[in-house]
């Protein structure tokens, strides 16, 4: 038995020795199979992904921003430009947490920058941008020079050249020009596919926003080869950024300046200057205003933010395109409704009295006595209330609304910055039945007092200064509703697409024109003749409007000149400035008329055929 056991053990060892190469071979096949499979997965299935990672580790793309197009007035005066500034940045890959304190202290000492600010920006930036952190912007030339003198001791830090939007005249035309601001992360998710970069700036308001695509240009960049620590080895290619297009505005610098000076002593208000032939806006000022350079500043205090965004004066809010009670400047609309319906023809005469009862209220005459029997022209000249009460109530709310909408009210004007514009209110029965914008449907019915108020532009009527300028342009140009615009863009603004014939009788226009001329000759705007005796004939209308929101009265004046072949319409509006349109708003328009009249002979104001 012992011999048999030893023989079996010997055979077992012999078999094991014989099978050992086979086992090794199988193991080798398994190992090399795994390696081959891994290589196939890395190089074939995931090859493009890892090649991209490799390139990103070796190649760095440095974006170059485009120069934003300039904004210029219609004669070429620069209103918005871009300027070079210097920014201090650091590359975290070249500066470890251990080395950073020494670099921070040197930067603070050499460039006289707050150490606490540098520390805060660095620590905050590490999580946001591992490649480049901006530590300070708008460096002074002497700071840049000191950096260059010591850059060998400032490894990892750089001075970059940046472009920022610059408005050379500060608050000038701020509501027209608007401002630019860095895009948000949410915006970048949408705009990234359109060529925007995370460091890009975008137009927020005004023409900066309306013409963003025209002004912005296209980014360029440089492809750099870097080593393992991020040091640039060589340039692999450069694509120049494409500058944005310059944009010539319709704004006239001198008229805009006159408009802003006219508002200088007013707490709030607006001035609009419009070419009635084409709709070109020559000036559009609003007060209070703001300095758009604020949004290009690298650092802003809480006090500065509050002054813009929290202030009750609302300086970012354009009064030129916001709606207010128009008062007597609305009376030509009521006159148009009376004549166009045929119920109150152009030669009608009505008796004006101390007051007329409508509903529960006796609506008074302007002078509290009445003017006797008068027609449209004298009713406009003396700004009679009871004359227009009778016309407005007589034709009804629907006819009044139709006349208003024919003149462009209760609608956006078509201006490029319409996203900031109010369409106003022209009250009617349907509007009242729906709740008047603040009540519940069915609980705010139209009442007799409403149509009386609407007849003289009070309570249930609100319009913007721009809408008023557009409406009076119809009377100035012979019956065409123009499209207000801030840039010509080589378009024919007299084409029917932009200038539409209003369905209005020639006799209606002529009656209104004669009445508005009498306002300036011997009516409520007669002071204009003595203050500017050398003006060509002017037609217009004053207005004093109760503020339906409860504040003091508004003051209005609107005019067009020359009377026979008008080149300009001016609307002057002083918000919550009691005392009357002839006292406060008319002198505002005088300042603009004076500049216009002085310059008109040397400028290309050529009359257009209607």
Residue ranges of domains in the chain: 60-248, 253-305+318-602
Question: What integer pLDDT is reported at residue 609 of this predicted model?
Answer: 39
pTM of structure = 0.83
From residue 356, how far is each of 172, 268, 327, 453, 603 by CA, in Å?
47, 34, 18, 12, 50
pLDDT tens-place string over residues 200-225: 889 999 999 999 999 998 877 666 66
Question: What integer pLDDT is reported at residue 456 of this predicted model?
Answer: 97
pLDDT tens-place string over residues 399-412: 999 999 999 999 99
Q: In terms of Cα–Cα distance, which of 604, 600, 544 is closest to 575?
A: 544
User: Who's near 194: CB < 8 A, 6+ residues apart?
Assistant: none
288 cis-preceded (ω within 30 degrees of 0): yes
Cross-strand pairs, 373: 351
Question: What integer pLDDT is reported at residue 176 of this predicted model?
Answer: 98
Q: At what angle do helices 331-341 and 506-521 cross, to 10 degrees?
A: 150
369 cis-preceded (ω within 30 degrees of 0): no
* Domain covering 253-305+318-602 in this structure, CATH number: 3.40.710.10
Class of domain 60-248: alpha beta
Question: What integer pLDDT is reported at residue 64 of this predicted model?
Answer: 72
Which residue ranges in the chain fall short of pLDDT 50?
Answer: 9, 50, 53-56, 605-610
Question: What integer pLDDT is reported at residue 120 of this predicted model?
Answer: 86
Question: What integer pLDDT is reported at residue 483 of this predicted model?
Answer: 98
When computed from its CA atoms, the radius of gyration of the chain, rounded to whole angstroms, is: 37
**Residue 553 to residue 538: CA distance in whole angstroms:** 25
- Rounded to a whole number of angstroms, the distance between the first and last alpha carbons of the chain is 133
Tokens of 277: 């032939």
| Coil/strand/helix, residue 235 | strand
Question: What integer pLDDT is reported at residue 87 of this predicted model?
Answer: 87
Question: What integer pLDDT is reported at residue 10 of this predicted model?
Answer: 57
From residue 497, how far is each of 106, 172, 479, 480, 491 by CA, in Å?
64, 32, 15, 12, 10
**Residue 315 to residue 308: CA distance in whole angstroms:** 6
pLDDT tens-place string over residues 248-269: 999 999 999 999 999 999 999 9
User: Who's near 314: CB < 8 A, 6+ residues apart?
Assistant: 288
**Residue at token pair 């002054």:** 307
Q: In terms of Cα–Cα distance, which of 515, 516, 485 is closest to 499?
A: 485
Question: What integer pLDDT is reported at residue 579 of this predicted model?
Answer: 94
């Amino acid at each position: 038995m012992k011999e048999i056991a030893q023989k079996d053990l010997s055979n077992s060892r012999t078999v094991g020795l014989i099978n050992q190469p086979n086992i090794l071979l199988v193991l080798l096949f398994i190992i090399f199979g795994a390696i081959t499979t891994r290589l196939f997965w890395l190089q074939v299935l995931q090859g493009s992904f890892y090649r991209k990672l490799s390139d990103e580790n070796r190649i760095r793309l440095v974006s170059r921003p485009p120069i934003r197009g300039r904004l210029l007035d219609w004669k070429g005066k620069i209103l918005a430009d871009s300027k070079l500034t210097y920014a201090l940045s650091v590359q975290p890959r070249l500066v470890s947490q251990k080395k950073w304190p020494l670099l921070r202290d040197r930067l603070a000492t050499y460039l006289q920058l707050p150490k606490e600010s540098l520390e805060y920006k660095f620590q905050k930036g590490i999580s946001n941008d591992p490649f480049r952190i901006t530590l300070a912007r708008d460096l002074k030339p002497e700071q840049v020079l000191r950096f260059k003198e010591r850059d060998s001791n400032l490894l990892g830090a750089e001075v970059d050249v940046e472009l920022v939007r610059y408005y050379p005249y500060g608050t000038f035309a701020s509501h027209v020009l608007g401002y630019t601001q860095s895009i948000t992360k949410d915006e970048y998710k949408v705009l990234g596919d359109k060529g925007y970069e995370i460091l890009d700036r975008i137009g927020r308001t005004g023409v900066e926003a309306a013409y963003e695509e025209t002004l912005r240009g296209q980014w360029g960049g440089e492809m750099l080869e870097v080593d393992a620590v991020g040091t640039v080895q060589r340039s692999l290619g450069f694509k120049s950024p494409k500058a944005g297009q310059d944009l010539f505005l319709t704004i006239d610098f001198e008229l805009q300046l006159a408009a802003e000076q006219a508002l200088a002593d007013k707490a709030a208000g607006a001035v609009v200057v419009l070419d009635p032939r084409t709709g070109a806006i020559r000036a559009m000022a609003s007060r209070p205003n703001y300095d758009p350079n604020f949004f290009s500043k690298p650092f802003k205090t809480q006090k500065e933010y509050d002054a813009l965004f929290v202030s009750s004066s609302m300086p970012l809010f354009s009064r030129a395109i916001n709606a207010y009670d128009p008062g007597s400047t609305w009376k030509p609309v009521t006159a148009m409704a009376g004549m166009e319906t045929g119920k109150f023809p152009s030669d009608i005469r009505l008796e004006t009295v101390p007051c007329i009862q409508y509903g529960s209220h006796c609506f008074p005459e302007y002078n509290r006595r009445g003017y006797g029997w008068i027609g449209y022209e004298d009713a406009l000249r003396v700004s009679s209330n009871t004359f227009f009460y009778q016309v407005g109530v007589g034709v009804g709310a629907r006819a009044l609304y139709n006349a208003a909408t024919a003149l462009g009210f209760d609608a956006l004007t078509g201006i490029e910055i319409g996203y900031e514009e109010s369409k106003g209110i022209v009250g009617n029965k349907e509007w009242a039945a729906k709740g008047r914008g603040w009540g519940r449907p069915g609980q705010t019915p139209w009442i007799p007092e409403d149509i009386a108020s609407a007849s003289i532009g009070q309570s249930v009527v609100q319009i913007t200064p721009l809408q008023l300028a557009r409406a009076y342009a119809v009377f100035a140009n012979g019956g065409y509703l123009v499209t207000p615009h801030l840039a010509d863009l080589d378009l024919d603004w007299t084409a029917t697409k932009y200038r539409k014939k209003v369905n209005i009788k020639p006799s209606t226009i002529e009656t209104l024109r004669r009445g508005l001329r009498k306002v300036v000759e011997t009516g409520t705007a007669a002071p204009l003749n003595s203050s500017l005796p050398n003006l060509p004939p002017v037609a217009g209308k004053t207005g004093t409007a109760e503020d339906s929101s409860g504040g003091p009265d508004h003051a209005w004046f609107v005019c067009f000149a020359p009377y026979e072949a008008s080149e300009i319409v001016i609307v002057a509006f002083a918000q919550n400035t009691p005392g009357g349109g002839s006292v406060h708003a008319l002198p505002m328009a005088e300042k603009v008329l004076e500049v216009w009249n002085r310059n008109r002979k040397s400028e290309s104001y050529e009359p257009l055929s209607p």
